[in-house]
Structure 1
Amino acid sequence: MNASTDPRHAPHAGQGPDRPADRTPDQEASPAAAPAPRVLVVDDDLRLRDLLLRYLGQQGFETLSAGDGRELDRQLSRHHVDLIVLDVMLPGEDGLSICRRLRGQGVETPIVMLTAKGDDIDRIVGLEIGADDYMPKPGNPRELVARIRAVLRRGRGVPGAPRAAGGKVAFGACELDLGARTLHRDGREVRMTTGEFAVLAALVQRPRQALTRDQLMSAARGREHDAFDRSMDVMVSRLRKLVEDDPKHPRWLQTVWGTGYVFVPEGAP
């Protein structure tokens, strides 16, 4: 059975290939009504996948599903997707490889990884290759929804998502456009995850002000920082590779030992 005939692979909470058809006449007549965000859940565990699909549908999301990388590619070729929930442990191509491939292909759709509980390596590698957030399995569906909504609020082009305050910040060869949510270096756009943009924006909007990991984690993912969680250090390391001439000796994003990180603008001592 292929994805076109298997009801598990059809868009949930709607009948058509693009947006729900089960709207009332009043809803159809209201051009201001924002379409529901569409989430693609990729997990080979049918029981867990169906649980997540039902819960996401109850929370107002449109949903699609896939059991492996091939089905994911098929869904992405047929439907617009606002966010991907991607399990690390998949048959064939694993979730980390899929995430790396999608980012390499220029796919900027936000990705929330599902990792084995306590598996720091998968979590850190996922963030290093471009995942926007992660959640250990098994987890609370309510927490997953909270993380999805936090990522979508930061996301570029998501219906109803607030945009950052306008303005551009130039430093070195880089220019961060807070309104367009883009980073350019030497005139070329640099791909960033939503979390990376949020952290960089938080730093550059507070020049010379040291921000704690708690503050940066709140900006990136809307939650507090765990003292044993090194994901923020990983993210800042990735940002340095994007903006610094010498990431090992950073000029712009500097470490404040015992506190966190600080953006040091041009002309600062």
Structure 2
Amino acid sequence: MKLLRFGNPGAERPGLLDVQGVVRDLSGVVADIAGDTLSPAVLDQLRAIDPATLPAVEQPGRLGPCVAGVGKFVCIGLNYSDHAAETGATVPPEPVAFMKATSAICGPNDPVIKPRGSTKLDWEVELAFVVGSHVSYADEDTARAAIAGYFVCHDVSERAFQIERHGQWMKGKGCDSFGPIGPWLVTADEVGDPGELAMWLEVNGKRYQDGSTRTMVYKPAFLLSYMSQFMSFQPGDIITTGTPAGVGLGLNPQVFLDVGDVVELGIEKLGTQRQVVVAAP
């Protein structure tokens, strides 16, 4: 099942993508794709609905972030062996975690805003997932059952802010528009093994990232179990799981984004995103 949100920012409506690729309006069934809507019981209710009985949306227009009301946006760093190698780092013995601001979340095709003073704006295609049940001190099986679904995340990063401005990574990770998610949330049962998904990213038509979740070191269920030892998770919280090789920072010479650049990215089974880089107002 593919769940999505469509409409103008702040006025998105919940939807479902049927097997013919038609958006169906879910606003008569659920208030939004958020929180309690992502519980196993509600997802089962949505699966039981014949999509043909839902209103078709002829022109859905803008797609919004596929999850609303996110409480926590947790990110995992250096979690792909090939990406760690290209940046001269080693895979850590335990996952490295940091947070993005929830204000960074935007739609999958919304513009990426180049912040004022930015000199090293970079890209990262990532597999993300959303929690559908309360999780605390969970074992791996419990954590796996609590994952409601998966989606594409673009972990946009400003490397000078992240690395050269001292302190934690969040300075270069949480800027407005640095967290496009979507186009849709694909429920866990439809994704199957999240460790076997091809993923890619292109800038201005040139492919820079061409990898797979097979090189992911710490897998989603382990990550949720691990992170739940430090904090509880509630329905609607999201975790993004790291990126494969091919980021601008790791190239020789390095390549970074500028105003007017077009970024396209996608993950097998989860859809694609497209963003144009614009200047901060």
Structure with higher Rg: it is: 1
Specify which structure has the higher proportion of strand: 2
TM-score by length of 2: 0.26
The one of the two structures with greater contact order (alpha-carbon pairs below 8 A, sep at least 6) is 2
Specify which structure has the higher proportion of helix: 1
